Structure 1
Amino acid sequence: MTEDRPPTPVAEIARIGHHEAMRLAAEENQRFHSLLQQLSAGDWNRGTDCARWTVRDVAVHVIATAEAQASPREFLRQAVRGRRLTAQIGGQHWVDGLNEAQLQARRDLHAPDIPARWASAADAALRSRRRLPGAIGRLRLLPLGSMAGVDFGWQPLSYLFDIGFTRDVWMHRIDIARATDRPLNPTREHDGRIVEDIIAEWATLHADPFHLRLTGPAGGTFVRADDGSAPLEIDAIDCCRILSGRGTPAGVLEHPLPL
């Protein structure tokens, strides 16, 4: 619960820097691996909150993304193939084609092999992310453009290599846990830091006042220019799901933050 923690002005949220980001990434990678190891044969074909994706598809996407982080050659292979596929599948963003390319190239990855493949890919990706020179990370080389109605334009590599990729794994761990009825077991120290960093960035994308009371172990109370209205109370994980396009937004949560 969050009642005994005072509200935090959103401008005072400490953003996640590189060193903390790498610690969170290592922990998230382990939690994702633990979840994959729990899955039964019947879990892999279950549908998820990601349109058209099964649990297996989500896991394969996360693996492929990690393999691209670890290898510039693999990233280029996915990007080139994905660019061709975007139009073919009626994608709205180049990421749609990239995701499709990831799945197509890994059709032969069998479910029993997925946990071990993730462990190997995650370790290699984390090594690559830790070694990214600061000067390179600051280069605005990522053409994110418009996603879910939000214009991200060009972002520095560190936007993804520090915390963006970890958010992706975290949200997909939530997708798989929900689809398979596995416990998420969020903690304040890990999931709570990811949540408040998401809220801090989300607040930069709109100017509306808000008073969010996010419940659960990952929660907290966050305010900006409180207008005196009743706080919006919602589970912290559900709040992030809604911001990411999963679920039905209402009020200030109609401002998205693609994850």
Structure 2
Amino acid sequence: MTVHPSLQPAIDAWTHSIEAINELVKPLAEGDWNRPTECPGWSVRDVVSHVIGVESEMLGEPRPIHTLPRDLFHVTDEFSRYVEVQVDVRRCHTALEMTSELELTIIRRSRQLRNETRSPRTPVRWPLGAGPERTLEHQLTMRAFDVWVHEQDLRRALGAPGNLDAPGALVARDVLLAALPKVVAKDAGAPPGSAVVVDVHGPVEFLRTVRIDADGRGTLDSSVSLGPAVTLAMDWETYLRLACGRVRPEGVAGRVSAEGDPRLAEAILRAFAVTP
């Protein structure tokens, strides 16, 4: 048996992004590992530590037994506490230790993924703390999404832009768009019968309309809406940073164009972040 065809795009996207991360950090001097990223409280080292830690858990490695310091301001709930253990335990690691562990993890995970023969619908444990089982396809899609987003975190921190149209970018587009109807309808409270258009340009381009039905539920389509309540236009990287909570709306005000109801537009942008 071979890898199921519906799993291969996520595996290919994951491979492209994690190998790009490896190439980015391999030549870094010790001091560069301490550069801050847009992930609150995390340096370049911390982002790479997170990637290593999650992939290690996907390999079935036991979690480190480690007590977190009490002064980590960005650790605010059980999820962030769970994630932080794999990060904090590596904060004293040298550049050589980090790159060596990353390379070994990539080799082992790539071998595991090449030998994946399960059905896409196989229920699997989610690696990041407690929660319901997910399908294998969903799990691999979310790993491709997470690794590409963190590749972009590292690129911005290191001043090395690129891969905004990589396979992982298309995975990220679909993941983030799936969350958009809830953002508009429930979180921002767009009124029944209204429509909100999001127009994104750049390396990844798309135009989507969220339509709110009579019961206040949102649906997403790619048709043009006449007379939408709000139209938001921005470039792809800005969409990514907003939707992943890397920046607040006021931080990218000059890169977002909003037309229509200003209060609804503000509410949507305030609720735009959909990742933990």
Rate the CA distance shift 1:123–1:163 in 2: closer, same or farther, 3 A.
farther
1:183 to 135, 146, 161: 161
Kindly indicate whether the alpha-carbon contact (under 8 Å) linking 1:62 and 1:169 is maintained by their aligned counterparts in 2: yes
Instruction: Extract unaligned runs of 5+ from structure 2.
Output: 186-194, 212-224, 250-265
Cα drift, residue 186 of structure 1: 2.0
Cα drift, residue 155 of structure 1: 4.7
Which residue number in structure 2 is paired with residue 102 of structure 1? 86
Cα drift, residue 183 of structure 1: 1.8
% identical equivalent positions: 23
CA distance in 1, matches of 2:110, 2:77: 26
Which residue number in structure 2 is paired with residue 243 of structure 1? 243
CA distance in 2, matches of 1:132, 1:67: 16
1:34 to 23, 37, 42: 23
CA distance in 2, matches of 1:92, 1:100: 11
Please state if 1:258 is matched with 2:275: yes
1:216 to 202, 226, 233: 202
Structure number with the bigger relative contact order (C-alpha 8 A, sep ≥ 6) is 1
1:121 to 101, 105, 109: 105
- 1:252 maps to amino acid: I
The number of equivalent residue pairs is 231
Please state if 1:18 is matched with 2:7: yes
Kindly indicate whether the alpha-carbon contact (under 8 Å) linking 2:79 and 2:129 is maintained by their aligned counterparts in 1: no
CA distance in 1, matches of 2:106, 2:181: 30
- 2:47 maps to amino acid: V
Structure of greater Rg? 2
Rate the CA distance shift 1:24–1:63 in 2: closer, same or farther, 3 A.
same
CA distance in 1, matches of 2:70, 2:92: 24
Kindly indicate whether the alpha-carbon contact (under 8 Å) linking 2:181 and 2:210 is maintained by their aligned counterparts in 1: no
Please state if 1:228 is matched with 2:227: yes
Cα drift, residue 132 of structure 1: 5.1
Kindly indicate whether the alpha-carbon contact (under 8 Å) linking 2:176 and 2:274 is maintained by their aligned counterparts in 1: no
CA distance in 2, matches of 1:222, 1:102: 37
Kindly indicate whether the alpha-carbon contact (under 8 Å) linking 1:218 and 1:236 is maintained by their aligned counterparts in 2: yes
Which aligned runs of 4 or more in structure 1 are off by greater than 6 angstroms? Answer: 143-146
Cα drift, residue 22 of structure 1: 0.9
2:63 to 38, 56, 77: 77
Rate the CA distance shift 1:186–1:89 in 2: closer, same or farther, 3 A.
closer
Cα drift, residue 239 of structure 1: 1.0
Kindly indicate whether the alpha-carbon contact (under 8 Å) linking 1:243 and 1:255 is maintained by their aligned counterparts in 2: yes
Cα drift, residue 24 of structure 1: 0.9
CA distance in 1, matches of 2:245, 2:54: 20
* Structure with a larger share of its residues in helix: 1
- 2:231 maps to amino acid: P
RMSD: 3.4
Kindly indicate whether the alpha-carbon contact (under 8 Å) linking 1:18 and 1:162 is maintained by their aligned counterparts in 2: yes
